Each structure stands twice: as C-alpha cells, then as structure tokens.
Amino acid sequence: MTGAGSVQPFGAGFQEDPYGVYARLRAEGSVHRVALPDGAPVWLVTHEADVRAGLADARFSVDKRHARGGFQGFSLPPALDANLLNVGPEDHLRLRRLVAQGFTPRHVEGMRAAVRAAVDTFADRLVARVESDGVADVVAEFAGPLPLKVIGDLLGVPQEAYGRFAGWIATMLVPGSREELAGAVREVHRFLVELVAARRAAPGEDVLSGLVAARDAGDRLSEDELVSLAFLILMAGSETVQHLISGGLFTLLTHEEELEALRERPGLLPEAVEELFRYAVPNHSAIRRFPTEPVEIGGVRIPAGDTVLFSLASAHRDPARYPEPDRFDIGRADKAHLALGHGVHYCLGAPLARMQVTLALEALLRRLPGLRLAVPADELRWSTTFRFRALRALPVRGAVTPPSGCAVPR
C-alpha cells in the first residue's frame, strides 16, 4: 500500500499507456492510495479477485451519503442523481424492479428488428461516406449515433429532437471544461423534464411511458427518481456501447489473425464480442464506492467513508486470472469479465448492449470487405481518463458490398 494520496498514476504516462501503469500497480499490490487528477485521494483496487469481490460486497455502497466529509467530485442536480447508481439497497431494489420491466430478455429480443434497422441505417451512411470520400469516421457516422438512436427510441425521444439531444450527450461524454459539462447537464435535465411531460400527455410503448405510468398509478417513483432513471438509461445505454463498437472494431483491425479467423468462421462473432468486452473495456473503473464500515480488501484496511475505485481495466489484464491477459484471443477459454458490472449493480441493459455491439460489428465487416484503418494506429487520438478510454475518431477505408446477406465476408 502507498501513502495517502501520494501516488498520481493518471498523468502523462497513463495517457500513453494505461495498461502499463496498471501492470506496475498490480505488481506492487492490489490496493493503492492514489490521487485523482484533481488531487482528490481515493483507494484504487487493481487485482481481479479483489475487484470482483469488492463489486459484490454490500459494504461498499454507491450512496454518496456514506462519503466521509461529503462526496468529492462533479455533483449532478438532485433530479438527476436519484437513480440506481446513487441510492441505498432498499431504494435500489425498488427502482431496479421497475426499470427491469423494460429490459427483460423477451422485451430486448423483441427490439432486435428495430436495432438491426438502426444498424443498417447508419451502416448505409458510413458506406456512402466511404464511396464518396474514400474514407469515413466510424465514431461520427456509426458508433456514436447508433446507441443514441436505440436508447432514444427506448425513451420515446421525438425524431426532430435528436440533433440537440446528441450534441448535449457528446458534450457530457467528453466535455471541454467543467462549465461546459454543467451547461450540458442543465440542458439534458430540462429536455428530460419536458420529455416526461410529453409521455405523460401521450403515452407510448416506450420504457419511459411505462415508468411514468408506474409513477402516476402507484406512486412508486418520485418525480426526481423518474427523471433520474431516464437520465441513467440514456447515459449508460449510449456511452458504453459507443466506445465498445469503436474500440472493438479498432481491436479487430489491429489483430489480423483474429480478424481472419472471424471471417472464416462468422459464427464466432458472439465469442469475439465477449473477448472484446474483456480486452477493450472502455469503462476503466466502476462507479465509486464508499465503505459503510471499515473493510479489509487485498490485505489493506479501508476506513469507512473513503472513496474506492475498482479498476475494471486492471482486473481484465490480471495474469493471476487470465493467461496472457494482454493478448486478444477470441478462442480464449475464460472470457468472464466485469465490463457490465457484477453483483447487485450488474447492468440491466447487458442483453441490449451485447445485441447492439454484435449486430454493429457484423454489419461493418459484411458491408465493408477489406475494412482497414485509414491512418496508422499510433496516430489515432484517444480520450483517456481514470474513468474511461475511448477513441475520438476512427477513420477507415474498405471496398463496399450491397446490404444483403448475413455472413462476415472473407
């Protein structure tokens, strides 16, 4: 264990090689007292076994009321903060049961045709850009707008509002400043309040209409909880999927043997997607936790109320769990990962995320044979923080095939 907040692992070296930083930390021990870029002290947990155990340990609460001295970090307005990632066990169970109705396997499978249609729409746009310009940005043309469309439809967002809506979300994912972030949050809050009112006046078959009905009929939700749940669905459902599609495609394009194996055996795509969740997880840390009592983990005693970060990215590259963890291997026997959470906070939208990533990669590889990077891999720009790592752009080239068939082309 290191001294209180004395280690600052998230500097320039981290931007260039985050996995190298995690490897050095793991070699020194599982639990470290480190400083975030803003100087705030946190405990960082790096070993897979301890990360997995910690995520399932009810003594590590997400409720900021357990934070010693108050939560340090960007605070959302109360109307956006009363969601599954910020409440205690009883409220969490109540809210999760309500939201889960919109994410049952049957409901998600019923969305497959709509998701495939959205994939085809944005694949057409990407292909058209390749045909006209010779190169296209997968992030801007495909990976970014696709999950926003899917989640927007899930919430009943009007088609004419997508432009403004997408701009605010993009700002929130990669803000230029704290003020810019706060401004985007205010706009999204106002938008969601208006959307709730619209769904109340004219209910549809969307998830938000169902939550409004639960709020109005049984008073099982407060108005703040209703708006906050919509916000959580929006952010969780767009950010992770966008980065998994772009980061996943980048990984495939920079691992030719694995890509060739996938072209030869298209049925391996679901297996490849699970390995991508492990290898290219965009969310490097799970949401912060606060021990409700002193807890020992990895041989280190963490005081009640301290902020704890469980590093998913470090856990997924831990050689104590995965043989050759830095190797991308779609044939890997143990693909179990923590990318979608673990324990009571396992992602409700996991089936929908898997569906989108699988259909998206299948469409890209089928529609663009010979798909390749348009610039050297080391020239690509990443947004890298202690929280996530994501491509800012992914320019590609490739020959085009008509939008028919379902096999990944050789």
The pLDDT value recorded for residue 106 is 84
Q: What is the pLDDT of residues 158-183, one digit of tens each?
A: 888 888 878 887 788 777 788 888 89
How crowded is residue 368: how many other Cβ atoms within 10 Å of its Cβ?
A: 22
Tell me how crowded residue 362 is: count the other CB atoms within 10 A of its CB: 21
Which residue has better confidence, 361 or 39?
361
| pLDDT confidence bin for 73, thresholds 50/70/90 | low
Comparing 364 with 160, the larger pLDDT belongs to 364
- So what's the pLDDT on residue 375? 97
Domains recognised in the chain with CATH numbers: 12-397 (1.10.630.10)
| CA 35 to centroid of chain Cα atoms | 23
Instruction: Give the span between the Cα atoms of 276 and 280, in whole angstroms.
Output: 5
Single pTM value for the model: 0.90
Hey, what are 192's tokens? 């969601």
Q: How far apart are CA 77 and CA 260, in angstroms?
A: 48
Q: What was the pLDDT predicted at 84?
A: 73
- Would you say residue 406 has pLDDT above 50? no
Residue that has been written with the tokens 């089936």 in this structure: 351
> What pLDDT sits at residue 3?
44
- State mean pLDDT over 238-256: 94
